[in-house]
């Protein structure tokens, strides 16, 4: 399910890193924030499919973030509360305020992933099975890539990088973001690793002016797949 993205609002870094690891291991992509205001600013940019919210945050309460999401940003996707607040009153308040599910910490990996899967199925939105850009076609279910009628041989990392690039057209992708989304690490790899793989993706997929697209290098920032 590489096209399903999860927005995570969690202020405790060890907890956030654990959840991100679980989510990446299950095939989700993620973006994370530890502050409510920053999280809300990122929603229109990141356009996540599912949200996981903590309740107790340094700058606000998750219940207030939920209100903005539903009433101002008009976010209609599934929202899961994951919090230490375990009273019946809090659970009822969270669900009646617009959350679709509620989990009490400490979280368990299998249960969290099962709840997310159930929320996604109930949303009625089927994840795409293919991505296409000009002559490029990526079959997400079986990890096959095509350039026109010609099959391409991509390594698992190359395939994940291609999916990430093609699903973020005209959006800046920082090297740090790509390391997290594709390699599942924050800064453990040299960013030159990203540069080498991006160069290879350009060549393998033959992305260039004749296709009507280019992968532009943004100095000191990262890359952007642009429509020419």
CA gap 166, 161 in Å, rounded: 9
**Domains observed in the chain:** 5-123 (3.40.50.2300), 130-227 (1.10.10.10)
Q: Report yes or no on whether pTM surpasses 0.95.
A: no
Q: State the pLDDT confidence band at 2, using cuts at 50, 70 and 90.
A: very low
Report the percent of the chain where pLDDT is more than 90: 51
CA gap 136, 149 in Å, rounded: 9
**Token duo for residue 65:** 């973030």
User: What phi, psi does 80 have (nearest 5°)?
Assistant: -120, 125
The mean of the pLDDT values for the chain is 87
Instruction: Indicate whether 92 pLDDT > 70.
Output: yes
> What crossing angle do the helices spanning 13-25 and 109-123 adopt, rounded to 10°?
60
Sequence-separated (6 or more) residues with CB below 8 Å from residue 83: 53, 54, 55, 56, 62, 90, 94, 102, 103, 104, 105
Which is it for strands 50-53 and 79-83: parallel, antiparallel or unpaired?
A: parallel
**Token duo for residue 191:** 């960013």
Residue 191 Cα to chain centre, angstroms: 20
Q: What is the pLDDT of residue 4?
A: 81
Maximum separation of any 2 CA atoms in the chain, in Å: 60
Cβ–Cβ < 8 Å for 27, 75:
no
Instruction: Indicate whether 76 pLDDT > 70.
Output: yes
138: three-class secondary structure by DSSP: strand
Sequence-separated (6 or more) residues with CB below 8 Å from residue 42: 7, 31, 33
């Amino acid at each position: 399910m590489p096209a399903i993205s999860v927005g995570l609002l969690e202020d405790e870094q060890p907890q956030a890193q654990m959840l991100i690891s679980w989510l990446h291991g299950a095939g989700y992509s993620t973006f994370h924030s530890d502050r409510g205001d920053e999280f809300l600013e990122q929603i229109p940019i990141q356009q996540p499919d599912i949200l996981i919210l903590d309740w107790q945050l340094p700058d606000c309460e998750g219940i207030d973030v939920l209100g903005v999401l539903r009433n101002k940003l008009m976010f209609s996707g599934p929202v899961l509360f994951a919090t230490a607040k375990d009273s019946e009153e809090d659970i009822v308040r969270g669900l009646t305020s617009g959350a679709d599910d509620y989990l009490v910490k400490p979280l368990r990996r299998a249960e969290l992933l099962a709840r997310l899967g159930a929320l996604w199925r109930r949303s009625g939105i089927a994840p795409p099975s293919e991505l296409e850009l000009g002559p490029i076609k990526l079959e997400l279910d079986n990890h096959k890539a095509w350039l026109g009628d010609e099959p391409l041989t991509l390594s698992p990392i190359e395939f994940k990088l291609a999916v990430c690039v093609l699903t973020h057209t005209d959006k800046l992708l920082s090297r740090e973001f790509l390391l997290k989304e594709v390699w599942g690490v924050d800064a453990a790899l040299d960013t030159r690793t990203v540069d080498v793989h991006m160069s290879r993706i350009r060549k393998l997929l033959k992305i260039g002016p004749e296709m009507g697209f280019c992968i532009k290098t943004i100095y000191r920032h990262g890359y952007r797949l642009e429509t020419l």
